[in-house]
Chains A and B, each alone.
Chain A
Amino acid sequence: MIDVKNLSKSFGDHLVLDGISQHIYPGEKVVVIGPSGSGKSTFLRCLNLLETPSAGTISFQGTVITDPKVKIDQVRQQMGMVFQHFNLFPNMTIRKNITLAPVRTGLMKQEEADELAGSLLQRVDLTDKADAYPSQLSGGQKQRVAIVRALAMKPQLMLFDEPTSALDPEMVGEVLDVMKELARDGMTMVVVTHEMGFAREVGSRVLFMAGGKVLEEAPPAELFGNPKHPRLKDFLSKVL
């Protein structure tokens, strides 16, 4: 589904991603773990070109999206993204947050979008918040809305950038539950997270990144049960 070849990214002379090649297959749940500053968020943000790669190519369903001629908005309509800090639009109601993009991009009419927003909100147990504003919601509720907002575009793939890192501990569970349900429904997901339990339970493949490189990748049972790279062993001994 996504094919990454020799992806490099540097900010100034600081090399953040160092020649990463990866392939993400439909239905896969790829979990990216690693110490902070390892480039995992940058890697994720390159996938929908929120960061412009310095070198290398990224293809999405056969289209080379790093080509400057590609209409990036159309590509992004098929990739949902969830941010660490939710980034809900504070000037709109929850319903409007969800329906704005599908309506403006011509995916559906306002009534259809409203209906979809209603059923999506029901799915994450927030039906009564449709007319509320983001500032009235808790962190966990905001993040569930953010997930639903991305889903309203009916994406082929969902990117999660540390979706639970900014949450109070008691709210992490409710967000992870929504993500697990999404995974069960067969959504292709790329998740950058520090939640090792989630990686183990949901991930079909775990990437360990450090220093801008993928040092080790394996199914979670293998990666957590039998880590090979010394950096990974060291990392796991600190976080587990």
Chain B
Amino acid sequence: MKPSLAQRFVTAFLEGGRWKLYLQGLGTTLELTVVALIFGVLLGLVVAVVRSAHDQQRIGRKNPVLGILNVLCQIYTTVIRGTPMLVQLFIWTFVIFPTQRNKILVAFIGLGVNSGAYVAEIIRGGLMSVDAGQSEAGRSLGLGYFDTMRFIVIPQAFKNILPSLGNEFITLFKDTSLAQAIGGMEMLYYASTIGGRTFDYMPPLLGIAAMYLAIVIIFTWLQGKLERRLRESDRR
């Protein structure tokens, strides 16, 4: 006799305390997302600042070090954005760190480096969206480039990039499932393991799909709230 649908879900989630495994996977997924995002934002910020600093130099005062850094940054964003995420993860795992046993660590690096390239372009767009008069005013007061960025341009750019940054967070959150392919024990890893053990893939896969979706919906709602609050401060 075929088991009923309800029974299949009970088998996939409740039997033997399997729900704990999903939560464990969810924890790893969230950890991967947050660490990779922080790593990506820091990397992206550095790349974005280098690239816009390079573009804004005074003629005749081109800094050669900045020129080299700028070329490196351009190669970085081109290569990362031009190759598939999964291929990059495989390269990190099997080519660059073949002896590393901690696959989550490799996934941190792979996802963070990937995200950094996208975040760099988001931040660069945000920096360019701030009226040139703002940095001119800062510089005309005698503030240096970095002070002008730190106190004047970046705070204003932040508000403009928040929607795209939230989008990047969602993409990254879902892309963490690729870590399963290199043995990272996140949500998809547990779902497919359980699916294999119970000879029934449907309940665990639908289950984690619902979990991904629920978190994305909650995050989108939070982001909307934050944006509304930032907008309110404009109308003070």
What is the chain A residue whose CB lies nearest that of B57?
A52
Check A52–B59 contact: CB distance below 8 A.
yes
What separation, in Å, do the CA atoms of A50 and B132 have in the docked complex?
11
Chain A residues touching B, range: 20 to 34
| Interface check B197, CB cutoff 8 A | no
What separation, in Å, do the CA atoms of A191 and B38 have in the docked complex?
48
Chain B residues touching A, range: 20 to 34
Q: A52-B58, A136-B236 are in contact. Are A89 and B141 (CB under 8 A)?
A: no
Check A50–B140 contact: CB distance below 8 A.
yes
What separation, in Å, do the CA atoms of A231 and B156 have in the docked complex?
44
Check B140–A76 contact: CB distance below 8 A.
yes
What separation, in Å, do the CA atoms of A116 and B11 have in the docked complex?
73
List, in ascending order, chain B residues with CB within 8 A of A73's CB: 139, 142-144
| Interface check A180, CB cutoff 8 A | no
CB distance from B3 to the nearest CB of A (A): 60
What separation, in Å, do the CA atoms of A85 and B234 have in the docked complex?
18
0/1 string, B36-73, CB within 8 A of A gives 1: 00000000000000000000001111000000000000
What separation, in Å, do the CA atoms of A135 and B136 have in the docked complex?
19
What is the chain A residue whose CB lies nearest that of B151?
A100
Q: A83-B136, A100-B151 are in contact. Are A52 and B60 (CB under 8 A)?
A: yes
What is the chain B residue whose CB lies nearest that of A91?
B155
Check B133–A104 contact: CB distance below 8 A.
no
Check A50–B236 contact: CB distance below 8 A.
no
Check A68–B60 contact: CB distance below 8 A.
yes
* Other-chain residue from B60, B142, B151, B156 in contact with A90 (beta carbon distance below 8 A): B156
List, in ascending order, chain A residues with CB within 8 A of B59's CB: 52
Check A87–B137 contact: CB distance below 8 A.
yes
What is the chain B residue whose CB lies nearest that of A102?
B141
Give chain A interface residues in 195-210, CB to chain B under 8 Å: none
Check B137–A83 contact: CB distance below 8 A.
yes
Give chain B interface residues in 190-236, CB to chain A under 8 Å: 234-236
| Interface check B78, CB cutoff 8 A | no
- Chain A contacts to B: CB under 8 angstroms: 48-50, 52, 68, 72-74, 76-81, 83, 85, 87-92, 100-101, 104-105, 133, 135-136, 146, 149-150, 153
- Chain B contacts to A: CB under 8 angstroms: 58-61, 131, 133-134, 136-144, 147, 151-152, 155-156, 234-236
